[in-house]
Structure 1
Amino acid sequence: MIAEDASENTKKKYVDKCTYYHVDYQILGKVEEISQAIGKDNRVALGILDKGFANKIKSK
């Protein structure tokens, strides 16, 4: 998950890495929303390792 209000360079870096390693990604949410959801400050990207949880987020 990549924040939609991240800088273009940051988004490109994460998208390129995800594409290279064949990892699904979505660009959604704001930095503040992602940070608040995980309890950390200024998080631009979030990796979800649980397959079931990731599939549920993708279906929404």
Structure 2
Amino acid sequence: MPQHHPNMPVCRDCDGFATAAITTGGRNRDGSRTTLRVACPACKGTGTVRRVRRLAVSV
């Protein structure tokens, strides 16, 4: 489980697990599996999101 800074909110799309290794099914010459590293598109692989300040508008 990744450790997060208490003031940084966790990405809601990847839940803090920003990078995944996906097996393609093939093997390399040394016998290891061929994998792709894919980063979360929402947080771009950081696992956290910036806080957005919203302005209160009174009607």
**TM-score band (shorter)?**
under 0.3
* Richer in helix (by share): 1
**If the length of structure 1 is used for normalisation, what is the TM-score?**
0.23
* Richer in strand (by share): 2
